Amino acid sequence: MSKENKELCEKYPFLTWYGDPLYVGYNEDHEPDYEYTWQDEVPEGWRKAFCPQIWEELKAILEKADYVDKFRFAQIKEKFGQLRLYDNGVPEEIFDEVLDWANKYEALSANYCIHCGKPAKYMSLGWISPWCEDCAKEIHDTVIDINDVEAYYEAPREDRQRFYKKFYK
């Protein structure tokens, strides 16, 4: 059992991991072991950039509807270079606030390195992810400047190579 994870889940009960809720047979009728939390589903760089602020904001919204202990995530993941936060629903009175909260962090995440949490300068291609210059060089991936993402996808395929920034050792 991780003491840090247990303390984290006591402060933010919605981070308690009972297993994958998308798995057939999922139930919460067992004591969590605190070796893993929903925060562990957030890529490391974004954890460094946003935690615990992201959970503090969510908790403040949930407290308005006395829903802190009832809120459950369905999935947290990275998709198309942004954090995605899926839940099992909330009371109507806080629905818009929770949606705004999720949208805020989805948009912010695109501007921070998925690996280290520093401001992102590049976007990788293929598996789309935001990277700072240091991490982009470390993975020596083909990337494009984060400010050129729209232009890259609007350009004809045969012209896209002009946007590539390649790092080689």
> Cβ–Cβ contacts within 10 Å for residue 32, how many?
16
At residue 87, the 3 state secondary structure works out as strand
pLDDT digits (tens, 9 = 90+) for 133-156: 999 988 866 899 999 999 999 999
Closest to 142 in 3D by CA, of 159, 157, 161: 161
Q: What is the pLDDT of residue 40?
A: 96
Q: What is the pLDDT of residue 168?
A: 61
pLDDT digits (tens, 9 = 90+) for 44-85: 999 999 999 999 999 999 999 999 999 999 999 999 999 999
Q: How confident is the model at residue 30 (pLDDT cuts 50, 70, 90)?
A: confident
Q: What is the pLDDT of residue 140?
A: 66
Euclidean distance between CA atoms 4 and 6, whole angstroms: 5
Q: How confident is the model at residue 20 (pLDDT cuts 50, 70, 90)?
A: confident
Give yes or no for residue 169 having a pLDDT over 70: no
Average pLDDT over the chain, rounded to an integer: 93
Q: How confident is the model at residue 97 (pLDDT cuts 50, 70, 90)?
A: very high
Q: Please measure the distance between the N-terminal and C-terminal CA atoms of the chain and give it in whole angstroms.
A: 41
